[in-house]
Structure 1
Amino acid sequence: MSSTPSISSTTAWPDLATDTQFRADLAQLLLPYINTCRWFAGKARQQTGCSVQTVHTLPLPDDSVAYLLILEATYADGIPESYQLPLAFLPEDSPALEAVPDKGRIGTATLAGQPGTLIDAIYDERFRTALFTAIYANQTIAQPEGTLAFHRGKGLADGDASLPSQVLPVDSSNSAMTFGGKYFLKLYRKLFNETNPEVEMVAFLTDESEFAHIPAFGGSLVWQRPETDITLGMVQRMVPNDKDSWAQTGDYLNDFLYAVPQRLFAIREDVFDKVELLGRRTGEMHCALYKPDRPNEPANPAFAPEPFTNEYRDFLIRRFEDLLDRRYALLIDNYTRLDAQAQRLAWVFMEAKEMIDAFVDDFRTRPLDSLRIRIHGDYHLGQVLATESDFVLIDFEGEPESSISERKIKHSPLKDVAGMIRSYHYAVSAKLFNSAETEGIDPDHLQRVSDRWFYLIRDTFLDAYLDTFGAPHPLFKNNNEINFLLLIYLLEKAVYELGYEISYRPSWVKIPLKGIIDVVREIEKIRLSDGDLIPDVPMLQTGLLQGKPS
């Protein structure tokens, strides 16, 4: 690597943690390097610098050390970001250097006369072993700034202290290592001044419940400071699986798709079996997350159920009204880009604005006795792994575009249900409207066929889900509240989806629009059953769906 940047120091590698000049030189080396890394999210921003804020020292098995660097990236606009970079040094004659890929090589260095290469330490087997062993042993390592605390979870089996390891080749926003083909260690790269919601959720479900359908929590690495704890990594059990449930559902839909041109409606019985099973597993997950106070056993405050407070309602309404305004503007600006079917749906959606506003006002004041808990938060078919005969639920980090604090807000578990329902709607719509087998079939006919499949699957999932709770259950006061809350979350989800499709896949805009219209139809039923119709709020203009809007 003759073109690789290089630095030098008279200080030996094990003593560099306190060398301020080396830190400054290293920062200059790291800025171009992190811009080549998939996990660095600041590439598109105008960067003003990179500094090494904190250096943690991790002893290695051969009496050497690795460093966990906490970097701060600064920008011309906006707040700085923190990233984790593990750093190791390999002498130039080290055989281990041959196994380090180019993307793991940061630069060359001469330290106390010893030439070698600075690497991302995930590519150093000594570092991987040190991390895993520390978690297995529940170690605590004092640092100049706080403590590195390694926590072992129930999912890490006795006798697995030392296992062969490797780095997964997939580039993503975090780094992944496997141990003995049994465990998966995720090292978080972008850091937040809070404990990671995924670690909290997986640890709670593993250690505090009997819910077995997640990759079990094996442990975590946390930087503990007086002001806050920052999660650096997590270990989970690896799960053998064939595919995620989005792919599995696509396979099941192929049989349905091939029958459509023959005007046959066919759903295999095992499809319903799988949907029912996923409904039950989803319900079991939420039952496991429902942990109220019990005699002599106070609930964990982070997971204790809470009522629908005014503060929560205001938060949800503010977020939804802002989302709605932006989507209406986006839809108007892009209306002429839509096909005729999507235009009709868009017209009905825009004409229903007053009814949606009235529904949101109703949510603000309607008495609700159902409860809120911590939930998955980003639940869809892609977050469910299909094993040979069951399902495993994964990825509990929450909504990617939400802040860490927002991801920990308690919602009705029906928010997760709404996410899965929307995912099933996408599965059938994407398959029927974008397949060669259905080219030339009238779009309105395809819409009716996809609706029939979707409504059957939706009701199968929802019935199985609710059956797991029994009635009554404190999470859901009654069916009226279930229906009302589900519509709130379905509407929010479909309106959110609309923005992505307008911006990136205009031919798919009809999918979230149809989801919105389905919700508005149900809102209209609630208005009629409540019997308190507001005179100046018009009813749904479904007649517009039958012809081209003027």
Structure 2
Amino acid sequence: MVTTQSLHLPTGWLNAGSDAQFWTILTQTLLPPYVNTCRWFAGKARQQTGFAVKTVHTLPLADGDVAYLLILEASYAEGIPENYLLPVTFLADHTAHTLSFQVGDIPEKGRIGDVMIGNKTGLLIDAIYDDRFRQALFAAICQNQIISQTNGALTFHRGKGLDEGDESLTSQVLPVDSSNSAMTFGDKYFLKLYRKLFQETNPEVDMVAFLTDESSFEHIPAFGGSIIWQHEQRPDITLGMVQRMVPNDKDSWMQTGDYLNDFLYAVPQRLFAIREDVFEKVELLGKRTGEMHCALYKPSRPDNPTDPAFAPEHFTDEYRDFLIKRFEDLLDRRYNLLIDNYTKLDIQAQRLAWVFMEAKEMIETFIADFRTRPIDSLRIRIHGDYHLGQVLATEDDFVIIDFEGEPESSIADRKIKHSPLKDVAGMIRSYHYAVSAKLFNSAETDDLDPDHLQRVSDRWFYLIRDTFLNAYLDVFGAPHPLFKNNSEINFLLLIYLLEKAVYELGYEISYRPSWVKIPLKGIIDVVREIEKIRLSDGVATPHVAMLQTGLLQTK
């Protein structure tokens, strides 16, 4: 391998974009060790077989220099290759004094290596740390530029959230390491550069642009623009997005934790106390959630057709099959995982696990009912990964963030339309986690009987859940096309609550065994409601046992 000290690339930097050999040398020398140090690279733990620069985009800089946006393919011994975005610039030693920033201020994680390119020595860096690159990106978005490339075009879209006259704001890279890269402009805008790329537009950009441009919903960071790689032979690929920055103190998970502290301190004194402003905050979040879904519900009209990607849809057989297959696979894996780890659980979790396993047939009957039950409610695009951590608490309101969808789902699956009750289920489960984690993992409650703690936790959760849900549904009124009636609302909410809690169970068994009781209790709560539906429907299923709640009794 060529060392960084001796690496010499004969082609000059301005001509490197079209020199395949130039990039081949880099992928065999500097790029692999550098990329493997980057937080955004997800393939560190996999057996890598090599890197290749598949596409090079050229971005002109204001001083006549250029930056290159590399589409870097990582290949592995097993599994399909992954594509990553790596923008690069070259800082020649003899021009360092002309830059608008100090080379010495570039952090180690931004330095790819010292090289000689053409007849000039200098430093190859991740371009996000080059002020010229950041300014070129932002200016291109402000100006709605389209920059033709050898392989398609870079298309910069300006959104409604970008104010006039803001093209030349000072910028900086946020120091937080994550799966994407973040830059700020004038402490007013936030530019997210997506690192791992997918063969279609990012759902977050689609969602934020739709909510900003097609609705009056203001409780998101407004869409400021996007960077798209367009090519006639394949779907558009999202490279970045700009949003307005939102001043906030904390997310709603932290805010809820603060409110729960008052409740927690009262529990050992056998006092049940919830401040009135807690209910007010929960009601407000329920209202904002309903308003978000109303904004996403946009049926087509002859004079104003809706983008098919956002048009409401019915519960089709295809959708039911998709959801049932995913849930049945998930359920089988969780049952097996629970059996394998049963002896590692505490007594309370073991009792809950036993009831869950005894209810397997009832759950399967419920799923079968979902396959055939008539449903007239509608499906729309939703947030998809909705919980307290995705809501920022401002001084007196909320702002909803992060519309990328479920992290473990494919991009195509993240764009599937669901009942908005799937988002509601996510928030309800988040509240259940908040109170359970606080009560069962605090020194103040160490000496209290676990069954007593469970009862207290349940009382808080049921009050908060009903407060959120009532405020949410009040936004829509009745009837509303998204929800045929209360019976369908209850049935669909149970479907999504059960799926969410079963999903959570796998994580807790694998990583936090002491928390397994939280999703298990959520599952049991849903199964109790399933049993009520079964009894009210009057459908005879004598071979399916009733819920064995007696197993939960300790006295």
TM-score, normalised by the number of residues in structure 2: 0.98
Structure 1 contact 371–475 (Cα < 8 Å) conserved:
yes
Which ranges of structure 1 fall in alignment gaps of 5 or more residues? Answer: none
Deviates more, 1:277-286 or 1:18-27: 18-27
Correspondences of 1:9-158 after superposition (within 5 Å): 9-28=9-28, 29-93=30-94, 94-95=96-97, 96-158=102-164
Root-mean-square deviation (CA, aligned residues, Å) is 1.1
Structure 1 contact 384–394 (Cα < 8 Å) conserved:
yes
Query: Cα distance 1:512–1:6, how it changes in 2: closer, same or farther (>3 A)?
Result: farther
Correspondences of 1:370-409 after superposition (within 5 Å): 370-409=377-416
* Residue from 314, 321, 328 that aligns with 2:321: 314
Question: Which residue in 2 is equivalent to 1:196?
Answer: 202
Correspondences of 1:227-246 after superposition (within 5 Å): 227-246=234-253
CA distance in 1, matches of 2:21, 2:285: 56
Q: Give the residue type in structure 1 aligned to 2:84.
A: Y
Note the alpha carbon deviations across 1:419-470, whole angstroms, 9 max, x for none: 0000000000000000010011000000000000000000000000000001
Question: Which residue in 2 is equivalent to 1:454?
Answer: 461
Q: Give the residue type in structure 2 aligned to 1:38.
A: R
Deviation at 1:547, TM superposition (A): 3.4
Deviation at 1:12, TM superposition (A): 1.5
CA distance in 1, matches of 2:5, 2:47: 22
* Residue from 271, 277, 294 that aligns with 1:270: 277
Question: Which residue in 2 is equivalent to 1:339?
Answer: 346
Correspondences of 1:241-260 after superposition (within 5 Å): 241-260=248-267
CA distance in 1, matches of 2:78, 2:117: 36
Structure 2 contact 4–115 (Cα < 8 Å) conserved:
no
Q: Give the residue type in structure 1 aligned to 2:153.
A: T
CA distance in 2, matches of 1:3, 1:434: 51
CA distance in 1, matches of 2:26, 2:109: 17
Note the alpha carbon deviations across 1:37-90, whole angstroms, 9 max, x for none: 000000000000001111000000101100000000000000000000000000
Structure 1 contact 245–385 (Cα < 8 Å) conserved:
yes
Deviation at 1:295, TM superposition (A): 3.3
Q: Give the residue type in structure 1 aligned to 2:543.
A: D
CA distance in 2, matches of 1:3, 1:504: 41
CA distance in 2, matches of 1:133, 1:511: 49
Question: Which residue in 2 is equivalent to 1:301?
Answer: 308
Query: How many pairs were matched up?
Result: 547
CA distance in 1, matches of 2:289, 2:401: 12
Instruction: State yes or no: 1:180 paired with 2:186.
Output: yes
Deviation at 1:402, TM superposition (A): 0.2
CA distance in 1, matches of 2:512, 2:178: 23
Note the alpha carbon deviations across 1:454-503, whole angstroms, 9 max, x for none: 00000000000000001100000000000000000000000000000001
CA distance in 2, matches of 1:255, 1:5: 60
Question: Which residue in 2 is equivalent to 1:530?
Answer: 537
Structure 1 contact 7–25 (Cα < 8 Å) conserved:
no
Deviates more, 1:4-13 or 1:318-327: 4-13
Structure 1 contact 344–547 (Cα < 8 Å) conserved:
no
Deviates more, 1:214-223 or 1:28-37: 28-37
CA distance in 2, matches of 1:105, 1:7: 15
CA distance in 1, matches of 2:276, 2:89: 55
- The alignment partner of 1:129 has SS state of helix
Query: Cα distance 1:6–1:144, how it changes in 2: closer, same or farther (>3 A)?
Result: farther
- The alignment partner of 1:491 has SS state of helix
* Residue from 201, 213, 218 that aligns with 1:207: 213
Identity of aligned residues (%): 79
Deviation at 1:6, TM superposition (A): 5.0
CA distance in 2, matches of 1:14, 1:512: 57
CA distance in 2, matches of 1:414, 1:199: 22
CA distance in 2, matches of 1:359, 1:166: 53
Deviation at 1:92, TM superposition (A): 1.9
Deviation at 1:140, TM superposition (A): 0.3
CA distance in 1, matches of 2:65, 2:511: 50
Note the alpha carbon deviations across 1:333-356, whole angstroms, 9 max, x for none: 100111111010000000000000
Instruction: State yes or no: 1:488 paired with 2:495.
Output: yes
